[in-house]
């Protein structure tokens, strides 16, 4: 019922804009709109009360009323948006409105003919008639008197690191050690060691966590390794591609789409010959996918090992090999996991909470996800027995014989019910994604904004949406995904994506189907979560998953004209419905556009209300001119394109509402003017040309610029490169906050650089330079993120002093490709004014040239270091590996990557230092 509340929140501001905006409405029409706005405000208030009550506690009549109010609000918003677009003199050409019924049909036909106000009056009258009927039902069902649920408190402020630490460590050592012994025991004959072990257990029990822990512990003993998800509706071809990429990314990073399954199998077989491989096949639901996957693995070296995770013991028996049934956590481990999620220290636990704690843990049944989810809920509540008993009572009967899944569903639904309405609608929107999908944080945030799910809260819509994302992580309802390589993280965006746990996805699919929020068609055309008795006639959001029967299923639907969001996961050209049927589409996301050409893209021109367009994997060299007709477009995302450069159309400058363009590499053609793109704030992937920079310099609202500077072919001199970079920097807009430069050149220095924008917050120079620029000093008062690439450079004390004096710097990354032969050891001194805000330091170098004095970098929490221990020892003529890590008082996370495994004493010394550190930071050790 929260969905209806969200729909009203986007509609009411638009009605207010109609009255005060530039639509030249007559006084009488304005009065009617004000009356409509007033009536809808009452309905919105009632809907908010309904949204605060768990769905299973609502009267059926109230549910029907809320559903009708929601559908009405959608229809009104579609009509208002269409009028607002045309009310400024724009005309939609060639739109097929024959399938639009009822209110929207009248509105569309009327708007098409109307040129004056008295005809608009008829539309408002029809709307008011519908609204009055809904209002009468509200009074009849006494919706305004419905009891509100318990008040919500602030979200648990802890970050995802706590969740990961708890989930991965508690209760895992015993099972992991036993499986290592069974897989690798050297005292047992190799003939007796199982090649395959299946980990069997209910969803949420920690099978994937255990398998991943085994992989991380054992991968060094094998020649190669991979970890792949299978899931309920597997794409076998995609799985094989994933295996090849993990085995050899350089060779198979861009696999030809024409490769068929048999060719992929042969490639895997050839690679694994004479190699010992550690394989993890995660979340295997059925027998048939395994019968195909094993074809690629059957000829591997005898020493290879395969770890399977599955919920179904019959599948494990079919696979063969050993079976390990993962048990729920013990009472002690459950309690430890529970406490770690809520309390900073066990000393914070109060004895009066013990009774409620034991009741709750009994209902969780030792399922880690259930424990973490419930603990996350309690972390937002007052720490008193009364509140905890309330939570225990809400969970349900929780009889001892109930299956774990039933307990999990009860607990997850409770956690869902406790969300405020704006988080409920954002979580439900994620039910459109396939299992195990890695969902980009930015893509999620932008789509939420486009659909109107974000309620302004004193900050920008993007900042508010990112806050929603973080809240869902804090509540353990989505799982964060970190960048794989800590030395190439973009600024501080460590968490760049998320995933949904299977059980959470199952729950929100069911809830979404109940509320008619999203219609998802799976691989054979069946509808996810839908009752077999009926299919909803009206579809507001449509998601297609590798659905070969999608078009047949879709063509049976009468009201595709009301679809607001269309997401296609799989080959878009095989599933693509006719876009002209989607008259009010706001969001269009196509995951694999490799089969689309410019003819397919021309159909986009009729999507006048489209705000978010994501085309992943394009193979075209240019976008069609019809893109310029997308007058409402705010986000254009064409990253991961297969072509090296995509040419933007001349009509690009007509996209007056565009806020962001994100691409790998696009070129702006001569003749395109950007001065009318007054909303444009982010340009990522633009290729440098003099014309492009001239136009970019006119963008007064531009905040983010990522530009690729390609050296002119007629000259390869460094001087020419300097000139290109200088020209680019001189023409940057003054209000720029984020600047990322990329160029395949080496510059002597960047000291020629013109003064940088005064408000610059992030500067990432992905250009190799031979000296740290002199202009990087304390005058850059807003700079929080700095990344520089050095080539044969000597880092000198004065350079370090200037970096230390940056007053707002929180993130510093230095990548030194080759060191200077004169590099000396540099000391970071203890001083309140030295690196006063730095929390994250990442250095990739050949020689470790830093040493920290006691109290240095007082706020540093994360330190990532990649270096060559042997060459460092040779250069500085020392056999000690004392870098003063113990002197960093706030250290929490350490990542060390050594370039060679020839000096075990270096690893031993570093491990001892970190283990003895008073803060007990986590340590991630690896070798290249």
Number of H helices, E strands in the chain: 30, 28
Proportion of the chain above pLDDT 70, given as a percent:
82
Proportion of the chain above pLDDT 90, given as a percent:
27
Which residues sit opposite 226 in a β-bridge?
279
Is the pLDDT confidence value at 76 over 90? no
Q: How far is CA 667 from the centre of its chain?
A: 27
- Report the relative pairing of strands 612-615 and 682-687 from DSSP bridges: unpaired
Q: What H or E segment, with its residue span, contains residue 647?
A: strand 646-647
What is the arithmetic mean of pLDDT over 735-752? 80
Q: Rounded to 5 degrees, what are φ and ψ at 729?
A: -70, -35
Which segment of 448-457, 681-690, 914-923 scores lowest on mean pLDDT? Answer: 914-923
Q: Decide: residue 9, CB within 10 A, 0-12 exposed, 13-18 middle, 19+ buried.
A: buried
The closest alpha carbon to 237, from 604, 574, 534, 535, belongs to: 574
Which segment of 102-106, 407-411, 488-492 scores lowest on mean pLDDT? Answer: 102-106
What is the arithmetic mean of pLDDT over 774-802? 86
For residue 770, how many other CB atoms are within 10 A of its CB?
Answer: 16
Q: What H or E segment, with its residue span, contains residue 660?
A: strand 660-667
Confidence of residue 7 (pLDDT cuts 50, 70, 90): low
What is the predicted pLDDT for the residue at 919? 77
What is the predicted pLDDT for the residue at 197? 93
Furthest-apart CA atoms within the chain: distance in Å? 91
Confidence of residue 567 (pLDDT cuts 50, 70, 90): very high
| DSSP letters spanning 510-557 | HHHHHHT--EEE-TTSPBTT--TT---SB-SEEEEES-TTHHHHHHT-
CA dist 287 and 113 (Å) reads: 59
What is the predicted pLDDT for the residue at 165? 46
Is the pLDDT confidence value at 867 over 60? yes
Is the pLDDT confidence value at 607 over 70? yes
What is the arithmetic mean of pLDDT over 386-405? 58
What is the predicted pLDDT for the residue at 188? 43
Helix/strand/coil for 588: strand
Is the pLDDT confidence value at 227 over 90? yes
CA dist 531 and 519 (Å) reads: 12
Residues 6+ apart with CB under 8 A from 732: 696, 697, 705, 739, 756, 757
Instruction: List pLDDT tens digits, range 16-43.
Output: 777 776 666 777 777 878 888 888 888 8
What is the arithmetic mean of pLDDT over 901-908? 80
Tell me the three-class secondary structure of 211-235, residue by residue: HHHHHHHHHHHCCEEEEEEEECCCC
Long-range contacts of 751-756 (CB under 8 A, 24+ apart): 751/775, 752/722, 752/726, 753/725, 753/726, 753/729, 754/726, 754/729, 754/730, 756/729, 756/732, 756/780
Is the C-alpha dihedral spanning 652, 655, 656, 657 positive or negative? negative
Residues 6+ apart with CB under 8 A from 650: 625, 628, 669, 671, 672
Structure tokens at 176: 């992991």
Which segment of 106-115, 565-574, 798-807 scores lowest on mean pLDDT? Answer: 106-115
Which segment of 31-35, 315-319, 684-688, 842-846 scores lowest on mean pLDDT? Answer: 31-35
What is the predicted pLDDT for the residue at 148? 43
For residue 718, how many other CB atoms are within 10 A of its CB?
Answer: 14
CA dist 387 and 356 (Å) reads: 9
Is the pLDDT confidence value at 284 over 60? yes
Are the C-beta atoms of 315 and 287 separated by less than 8 Å? yes
What is the predicted pLDDT for the residue at 753? 61
| Mean of the per-residue pLDDT values of the chain | 80
Instruction: List pLDDT tens digits, range 506-539.
Output: 889 888 888 889 988 887 667 787 654 445 678 8
pTM of the shown model: 0.79
Confidence of residue 433 (pLDDT cuts 50, 70, 90): very high
């Amino acid at each position: 019922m929260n969905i209806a509340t969200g729909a009203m929140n986007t509609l009411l501001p638009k009605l207010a804009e109609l009255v005060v905006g530039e639509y030249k409405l007559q006084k009488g029409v304005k009065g009617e709109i004000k009356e409509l706005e007033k009536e809808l405000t009452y309905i919105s208030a009632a809907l908010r009360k309904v949204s605060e009550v768990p769905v299973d506690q609502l009267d059926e009549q109230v549910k029907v009323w809320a559903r009708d109010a929601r559908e009405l609000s959608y229809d009104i918003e579609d009509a208002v948006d269409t009028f607002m677009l045309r009310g400024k003199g724009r005309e939609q050409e060639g739109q097929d409105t024959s399938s639009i019924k009822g209110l929207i049909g009248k509105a569309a036909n009327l708007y098409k003919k109307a040129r004056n106000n008295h005809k608009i009056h008829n539309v408002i009258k029809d709307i008011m008639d519908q609204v009055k009927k809904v209002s009468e039902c509200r009074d009849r069902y006494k919706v305004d008197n419905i009891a509100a649920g318990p008040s919500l408190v602030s979200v648990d402020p802890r970050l995802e690191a706590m969740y990961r630490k708890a989930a991965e460590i508690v209760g895992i050592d015993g099972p992991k050690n036993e499986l290592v012994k069974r897989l690798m025991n050297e005292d047992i004959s190799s003939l007796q060691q199982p090649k395959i072990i299946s980990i069997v257990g209910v969803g949420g029990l920690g099978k994937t966590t255990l398998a991943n822990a085994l992989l991380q512990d054992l991968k060094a003993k094998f020649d190669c390794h991979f970890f792949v998800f299978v899931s309920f509706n597997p794409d076998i071809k995609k799985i094989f591609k994933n295996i090849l990429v993990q085995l050899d990314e350089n060779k198979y990073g861009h696999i030809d789409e024409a490769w068929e399954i048999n060719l992929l199998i042969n490639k895997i077989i050839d690679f694994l010959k004479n190699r010992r491989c550690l394989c993890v096949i995660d979340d295997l639901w059925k027998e048939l996918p395994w019968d195909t996957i094993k074809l690629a693995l059957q000829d591997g070296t005898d020493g290879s090992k395969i770890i399977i995770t599955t919920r179904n013991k019959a599948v494990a028996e079919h696979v063969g090999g050993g079976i390990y049934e993962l048990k729920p956590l013990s009472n002690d481990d459950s309690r430890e996991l529970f406490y770690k999620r809520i309390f900073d220290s066990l000393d914070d636990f109060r004895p009066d909470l013990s009774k409620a704690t034991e009741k709750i843990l009994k209902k969780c049944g030792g399922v880690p996800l259930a424990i973490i989810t419930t603990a996350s809920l309690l972390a937002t509540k007052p720490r008193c027995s009364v509140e905890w008993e309330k939570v225990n009572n809400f969970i349900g009967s929780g009889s001892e014989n109930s299956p774990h899944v039933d307990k999990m569903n009860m607990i997850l639904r409770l956690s869902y019910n406790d969300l405020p309405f704006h988080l409920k609608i954002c979580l439900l929107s994620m039910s459109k994604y396939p299992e195990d999908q890695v969902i980009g944080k930015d893509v999620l945030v932008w789509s939420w904004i486009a659909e109107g799910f974000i309620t302004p809260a004193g900050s920008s819509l993007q900042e508010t949406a990112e806050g929603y994302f973080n809240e869902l992580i804090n509540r353990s309802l989505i799982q964060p995904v970190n960048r794989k390589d800590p030395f190439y993280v973009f600024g501080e965006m460590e968490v760049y994506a998320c995933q949904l746990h299977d059980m959470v996805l199952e729950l929100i699919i069911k809830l979404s189907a109940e509320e008619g929020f999203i219609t998802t068609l799976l691989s054979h055309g069946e509808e996810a979560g839908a009752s077999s008795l009926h299919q909803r006639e009206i579809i507001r959001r449509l998601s297609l998953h590798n659905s070969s029967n999608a078009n047949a299923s879709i063509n049976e639907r009468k009201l595709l004209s009301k679809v607001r969001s269309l997401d296609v996961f799989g080959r878009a050209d095989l599933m693509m419905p006719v876009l002209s049927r989607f008259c009010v589409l706001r969001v269009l996301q196509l995951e694999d556009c490799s089969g689309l050409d410019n003819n397919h893209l021309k159909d986009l021109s009729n999507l006048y209300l489209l705000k978010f367009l994501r085309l992943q994997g394009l193979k075209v060299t240019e976008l069609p001119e019809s893109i310029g007709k997308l007058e409402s477009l705010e986000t254009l995302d064409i990253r991961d394109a297969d072509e090296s450069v995509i040419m933007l159309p001349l009509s690009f400058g007509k996209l007056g509402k565009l806020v962001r363009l994100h691409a790998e590499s696009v070129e702006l053609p001569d003749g395109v003017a950007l001065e009318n793109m007054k909303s444009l704030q982010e340009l990522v992937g633009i290729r440098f040309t003099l014309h492009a920079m001239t136009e970019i310099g006119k963008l007064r609202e531009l905040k983010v610029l990522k530009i690729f500077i390609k050296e002119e072919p007629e000259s390869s001199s460094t001087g020419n490169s300097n000139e290109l970079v200088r020209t680019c920097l001189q023409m940057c807009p003054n209000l720029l906050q984020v600047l990322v430069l990329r160029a395949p050149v080496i510059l002597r220095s960047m000291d020629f650089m013109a003064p940088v924008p005064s408000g610059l917050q992030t500067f990432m120079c992905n250009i190799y330079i031979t000296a740290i620029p002199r202009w990087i000093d304390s005058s850059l008062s807003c700079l929080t993120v700095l990344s520089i690439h050095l080539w044969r450079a000597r880092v000198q004390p004065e350079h370090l002093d200037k970096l230390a004096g940056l007053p707002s710097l929180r993130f510093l990354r230095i990548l030194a490709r080759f060191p200077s032969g004169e590099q000396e050891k540099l000391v970071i001194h203890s001083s309140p004014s030295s690196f006063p805000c730095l929390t994250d330091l990442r250095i990739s170098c050949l020689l470790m040239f830093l040493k920290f004095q006691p109290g240095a970098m007082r706020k540093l929490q994360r330190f990532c270091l990649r270096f060559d221990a042997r060459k460092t020892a040779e250069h500085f003529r020392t056999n000690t590996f004392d870098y003063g890590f113990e002197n960093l008082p706030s250290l929490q996370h350490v990542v060390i990557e050594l370039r060679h495994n020839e000096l075990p004493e270096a690893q031993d010394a570093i491990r001892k230092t970190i283990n003895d550190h008073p803060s007990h930071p986590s340590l991630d050790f690896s070798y290249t």
